[in-house]
Copies of this chain bind each other. A is one copy, B any other.
Amino acid sequence: MAPFLSKRDLNFQLFEVLSSADLPTRARFAGQSRADYEDILGLAYTVAERHFLPHAREADLNEPHVEGGKVRLVPGAQQAVKAFREAGFLSAHHDEELGGLQLPWVIMQAVMAHFQAANISTSGYPFLTIGNANLQREFASAEQQQKYMLPMLEGRWFGTMALSEPQAGSGLADITTSATPLGDGTYSVRGSKMWISGGEHELSENIVHLVLARVKGAPAGVKGISLFIVPRYRVNPDGSPGESNNVVLAGLNHKMGYRGTTNTLLNFGEGGDSIGELVGEAGRGLAYMFHMMNEARIGVGMGAVMLGYAGYLASLEYARERRQGRPATDRNPESQPVPIIGHADVRRLLLRQKTFVEGGLALGLYASSLVDDLTTGPEDRRSDTGLLLDLLTPIVKSWPSKYSQEALSDAIQVLGGAGYTRDYPVEQLYRDNRLNPIHEGTEGIQGNDLLGRKLTQAGGRGLEVLLGQIQADLAASEGLEGVSEIRAALTTALAQNGKAIHTILSKAPELGPDLFLANANSALEMLGHTVIGWMWLRQANAAVRALTNARASDTDFYRGKLHAARFFAVYELPKVKAHADLLAAADRTTFDMQEEWF
């Protein structure tokens, strides 16, 4: 069976492309070492392989279902989250005084990557819990943290994010769930929440829902939205879970993939009060959620990367073993068929996958390293770091979601008919990943966010910072052998980006906001491919440097990196131009299309 993750590449990304080994020079990580990081990654591999991977297919074939009034999952899920908890991963990035290891976020993300690759569905339960706890850490009161967050760090309670409603998915401004003050500082929360992952299960003693709702009388739109903690079971004075809080499971959603993660419609306040506590200030609910959005969106992007990566590794193994056909030069029908990796078109499918998933991994970890820099990097650069991360986030979320899907389609194609069956993992990975361009903000939302907000935020400073970083890496690569194609293609793409962005921004006033945004998707595609091209330049730079003194056993790995960079330069970066042209032209085609013409 193919490995589900490449340890070699993860090490390369963390310690050769990024400088994660230097993190212990920062106060928060003092005393840690690269060896510590490698140990914890090794532990993650073991736990993922032993406890998450084995029931990945079983969880797909046996969706969560209600039995005796309880949501039932496959038994492996319970054992897996237990192993995850016991390994300490739920609190590993938290303060030592909370039982954590103060692990850098980039290492934490690399830890989590193992579980996403092995079994994205089961990993959903602890990961939602981690995200929920991170939000509480930032915005909940000390009392709330004590009451709700600590049991989550210990893995006794799990968490969800309850934003969407049946009538309000992408349009959160229109949520109608209400919160009525009960007079004792708590609220009665009432309404329906849709698409709530991990919304009900028996994996934990309690479930802590973070719920967006409107306090009675609050204004319409986003300004009237507040954030509440609403537990499944009310909390006894001793901190133990008590009676039901009237959060009722109204239905399970039946999905194409990601089937092991129960996804629910929940009715709050059905048959009695669902008592909730306000987090922070009223009216700031969406702002709190969005503060955590960079992290959540990096998480989705990384999940997509790891699904694509698992598919790449599976198809690579298959291509090395499956014999079929001969080179065109071999006319002897009695010769043995060659492994299909011997065919250039199969290598094309593998190279495409390699550039998509390794490029995506580089970006996901780079963005995670920026999350660390925001709090532990040089103080005078934190503001720029924040703007850069804001700018990159829509790309980190959407690019791997889209291109891992293409990679997984290629993986299926390498396996042919076999890839279309449940005898191999790739068809499931393909179904699982198709969720990623939808949740945590659709591709349309990401495009609007990039062009309508992030490119102009702070006078365009985010883009300036990005271009500065890319130029620095271009400068560092000058004269290096084997990077000329990626250097040249990236330089061309940068010029196309610059011209297109300058043009569309200068036309913005005359276009008006709707026409201005009509080609936002092209902005996302254009800058997305360019940023991944940059990630390939960074990897190529690291590979060239390493090749000089590489052990023989490492040489192939680095040559593969250089050749993949060349592939991305030659096959992918030329696609930037068509998007740049559309954007610069402020093309009216989608804007002008009339509903009745369809």
Contact = CB atoms under 8 A, between A and B. Distances in A.
A328 B256 contact: no
Given A324-B169, A420-B256, A344 B591 contact: yes
A563 B417 contact: no
User: Copy number of this protein in the oligomer?
Assistant: 2
A279 B174 CA distance: 68
Contact of A570 (B345, B520, B589): B589
Given A220-B334, A567-B589, A560 B438 contact: no
Interface residues of A, number: 105
Given A325-B170, A595-B341, A574 B570 contact: no
A403 to B, nearest CB: 12
A350 to B, nearest CB: 6
Contacts of A253: 417, 421, 423
A513 interface: yes
A596 to B, nearest CB: 5
Interface in A189-227: 194-195, 219-223
A514 B327 contact: yes
A524 B214 CA distance: 55
Interface string A403-428: 00100010011001101111100010
User: For A324, A417, A567, which residue has the most chain B Cβ atoms within 10 angstroms?
Assistant: A417
Given A333-B222, A427-B256, A320 B589 contact: no
A413 B438 contact: yes
A174 B337 contact: yes
Interface stretch (A91-99, A230-238, A429-437, A469-477): A429-437
A69 interface: no
Interface stretch (A22-30, A48-56, A294-302, A441-449): A441-449
Contacts of A513: 327-329
Nearest to A560: B597
A247 B130 CA distance: 56
Interface stretch (A101-109, A132-140, A376-384, A575-583): A575-583
Q: Closest 3 A-B residue pairs measured CB to CB? A: A221-B333, A560-B597, A328-B513
Interface of A: 164, 167-171, 173-174, 194-195, 219-223, 253-257, 316, 320, 323-329, 333-334, 337, 339, 341-351, 354, 405, 409, 412-413, 416-417, 419-423, 427, 430-431, 434-435, 437-439, 442-444, 447-448, 452, 512-518, 520-521, 556-557, 559-560, 563, 566-567, 570-571, 574-575, 577-578, 581-582, 587, 589-598
